[in-house]
A and B are shown apart, each in its own frame.
Chain A
Amino acid sequence: MRVAFYGRLAEAIGREVEIDLPAPAAVTAVQRRLAELYPGSGVDAARVRTAVGGTIVHGDRLVQPGETVEILAPLSGG
């Protein structure tokens, strides 16, 4: 599954990675796997949000094959 990162998370982990989690998978499962793979990176911090297909999603959203999960670091604002 392809995962892209924004903000300080991209600096810590990389702009985009491929993780060993088959789709379909719930966003919560993706978040758990990322926390396991990248401990201490901040990927599971409180204000981190997830987007799929250009939309912010919640943990119960199923990620389908071919979709990219986007992990958004806490916003800086404008």
Chain B
Amino acid sequence: MGCVVRLEPVRLDPQQELATAIAASEGVGAVVSFVGLARAEGGQVERLVLEHHPALTEQSLRAIAAEASERFDVTHVHVVHRCGVVEAGEPIVFAAAASAHRRAAFEMADFLMDRLKTDAVFWKREEGAGKRRWIEPTEADYAARERW
């Protein structure tokens, strides 16, 4: 089972990551990917600042990928997450799963994102329009986590 987990401090290129995930999938039938973007919220948000911990953040990403690998019948899991300053509209996270058949790949990608939204060790704040706002998971995020 292949696994790519990476914290990316500068720039995330979803097309490059998808190409890498497909190449690593070793000819299986399905690759499902997700890209999360920094929302501009109607122009109110100019950037997200993602603070991370030097050890715990990458540990949390690896733990989430490992749990996903145990739960689903997939051949490759690929998670890349930005840290630092992300301008509105830029990609924040790339998550992909490769499997012999599409169902496991879809479910794993869904699981990865539900876990990342609540368990990944980041502290995020929105900045824009002269304001700063710290972000916490919503009740919907916690409910999504409990689906699994």
Q: Footprint of B on A, CB under 8 Å?
A: 6-8, 10-11, 51, 54, 56, 70, 72-78
The interface bits of chain B over 103-142 (1 if a CB of A lies within 8 angstroms of the residue's CB, else 0) are: 0000000000000111111111100000000111100010
Given contacts A54-B55, A70-B53, contact A76 B134 (CB under 8 A): yes
Contacts of B121 in A (CB 8 A): 72, 75
Asked if residues B81 and A54 are in contact (CB atoms below 8 Å), the reply is no
Q: Which residues of B contact A (CB under 8 A)?
A: 36, 50-51, 53-56, 59, 81, 92-93, 116-125, 134-137, 141
Tell me the minimal C-beta distance from B74 to chain A in angstroms: 20
Complex CA gap A28/B122 in Å reads 24
Q: Are B117 and A77 in touch, CB under 8 angstroms?
A: yes
Partner of B134, one of A7, A54, A56, A78: A7
